[in-house]
Chains A and B, each alone.
Chain A
């Protein structure tokens, strides 16, 4: 079913220079061995199968086999109405469901020429940032798991519950909220939510400090991540790697700041963190800072939350006028975009879903060449992909 050879890219060979020494010692050459990780493996939640050809402990070629989670969103979207699609796209990147809805709803709103009222925009921003925290927090814990530290993983799950509680009390769903409506939100925030949110944000900040204490600076962690899995910024961009993975390679690009203005981000004061190393450690570090930044943003948003309605005037049956729109947002995993083609019906004619992990993972055949087997797991962990986001 699967061929085990990796396609050779015709990119300029200079990019592959660090792989030249993959045959270290001819006498000790053990002959190639094909190792099959997955499709189900504890280190990957979800089902990515990775076929690697090994020479001793060194990976000669790697071939990710995806599609075990392919559900055909783009086809299903053509058979559903706009409100039905929001339910569906929740489940693309299942850790940050709310953030998935935002670009789609935003695109439909642009096509219809309506705009959600400011309060709705701000609440959307808050919930997007909360889902960012919930997503990245799991990563911060799981990354410890990849190098053998169990404790952070439990912390990650523990404190993530607090954020999920917040999301649940506001939207009714632990992680498939389906809370966005075209033109606004379903409900306003519940009473007492804001105070609750503030205390939780304090806990999250403290949790970040804990992660930093335990992992960053830890000798084992540093040895396993520093200098491992380096993505050069330019190559990363050409592969379409986005989000924190790209920023960890020194490319200062964040759609919240640099893209077309969306939600309440233009009014916020936040810093885009980058790191120049491009290795696994840099990716961890950037995500850690991003979580803190997200907390700062949530606090700012809570402080400045405008009053007013949460729903614009929208016809009861949503028909979107003819047109095409490309919307992109900075999701926890990277750039998420929808290319919506409408023909004036109640459902879209074509939706192209651009999901972050798909491109983030497509660099794996390049990235894994010449690394040692134990590093495969840390590299894959540090790229942080969600299987549903790869396969859609």
Chain B
């Protein structure tokens, strides 16, 4: 996305180009799976078991390193000992990057809400785009989250100010009118 970053489009992004870029982006998500606990098994089931087969949604698992990934799925319990590693991983990922927090533990601490060693929510460490509730969420829920993320990516603006906003970690504003026009 180098062109976009440097502001070739200036203030007014070209809608068709944006659409095309986003369309390509959303179907080639390199997903780094940060499996931490029980939820990791459900994520593994979503990835590896023939019944769910996440790759058909355009998600490419097992990138060689986080520097190659567009999306990280934090699935499971985040402990205070683990949190620095997660932050470092997130910083290594190239922009634009997305985070899915899978499971109650990653969302808010889940069953370990009162523990002395569990971080109560991964969003204290890194910004999160999609939360998946459940303990554990079913693999279908992860697929749903991917679809929601793809929708969000599709509707992202690529203008400079819009991207800057995205990088501030705020929520991307979904352009409803645009979505309606697309349908």
Q: Which of A75, A79, A95, A161 makes the CB contact (< 8 A) with B49?
A: A161
Residues A71 and B118 in contact, CB atoms below 8 Å apart:
yes
Contact between chains at B112 and A42 (CB < 8 Å): no
B-side interface size class: 20 to 34
B121 is an interface residue with CB less than 8 A from chain A = no
Whether B35 contacts A46 by the Cβ 8 Å rule is yes
Contact B35–A91 (Cβ < 8 Å): no
- Please, how many angstroms separate the alpha-carbon atoms of A91 and B138 in the complex? 16
Give the total number of A-B pairs whose CB atoms are below 8 A apart: 88
Known contacts A154-B48, A174-B138; is-contact A70 B79 (Cβ 8 Å): yes
Q: Does any Cβ of A come within 8 Å of B36's Cβ?
A: yes
Residue in B37, B116, B118 whose CB lies within 8 Å of A388: B37
What residues of A have a CB within 8 angstroms of the CB of B40 in the complex?
45-46
In the assembled complex, the Cα of A122 lies from the Cα of B136 at a distance in Å of 27
Knowing A40-B34, A175-B38, A388-B37, the reply to whether A71 touches B136 (Cβ < 8 A) is no
Contact count band on A = 20 to 34
Given contacts A39-B85, A158-B50, contact A71 B41 (CB under 8 A): no
Asked if B115 is at the interface of the complex by the 8 Å CB criterion, the answer is: yes
B118 touches A42 (CB 8 A): no
Partner of A94, one of B38, B50, B118, B138: B38
User: Which one of A69, A76, A158, A161 contacts B79 once the chains associate, using CB atoms below 8 Å?
Assistant: A69
Docked Cα-Cα span, A138 to B42, in Å, equals: 12
Residue-wise interface mask of A (39-78) relative to B, using a CB-CB cutoff of 8 A (1 in contact, 0 not): 1101001110000000000000000000111111001100
* Cβ contact within 8 Å between B49 and A157: yes
Is the beta-carbon distance between B117 and A88 smaller than 8 angstroms? no
- Asked if A176 is at the interface of the complex by the 8 Å CB criterion, the answer is yes
A42 to B36, CA, bound (A): 11
Cβ contact within 8 Å between B114 and A79: yes
Task: Determine chain A's interface SS by DSSP, over half rule.
Answer: loop
Contact of B82 among A68, A79, A138, A174 (CB under 8 A): A68
Contacts of B41 in A (CB 8 A): 45, 94-95, 138, 175
Q: Which residues of B contact A95 (CB under 8 A)?
A: 41
Binary B-proximity of A154-198 (CB < 8 A = 1, otherwise 0): 100110110000000000001110000000000000000000000
CA distance A176 to B49 in the complex (A): 19
Q: How far is the CA of A387 from the CA of B37 in the complex (A)?
A: 7
Known: A39-B85, A72-B118, A161-B51. Contact between A174 and B136, CB under 8 A? yes
For residues 360 through 392 of chain A, which have their beta carbon under 8 Å from a beta carbon of chain B? Answer: 387-388
Contacts of A71 in B (CB 8 A): 77, 79, 112, 115, 117-118
Q: Mark B22-59, 1 if CB is under 8 A from A, else 0.
A: 00000000000011111011101100111100000000
Q: How far is the CB of B36 from chain A (nearest CB, A)?
A: 6
Interface residues, chain A, with chain B CB atoms under 8 Å away = 39-40, 42, 45-47, 67-72, 75-76, 79, 87-88, 91, 94-95, 138, 153-154, 157-158, 160-161, 174-176, 387-388
**10 shortest A-B CB distances, which residue pairs?**
A94-B38, A157-B49, A72-B115, A68-B82, A71-B112, A157-B48, A70-B117, A45-B40, A72-B117, A71-B115
Kindly list 16 other residue pairs between chains A and B, CB separation below 8 angstroms, not including A72-B117, A87-B111.
A40-B34, A40-B85, A42-B62, A45-B44, A47-B36, A68-B81, A70-B117, A71-B77, A76-B112, A91-B37, A91-B38, A154-B50, A157-B45, A157-B48, A160-B49, A388-B37
B-side interface residues toward A, CB under 8 Å? 34-38, 40-42, 44-45, 48-51, 62, 76-77, 79, 81-82, 85, 89, 111-112, 114-118, 135-136, 138
Q: List 11 A-B contacts (CB under 8 A).
A: A39-B82, A39-B85, A71-B117, A72-B116, A76-B112, A157-B44, A158-B49, A158-B50, A174-B138, A175-B38, A176-B38
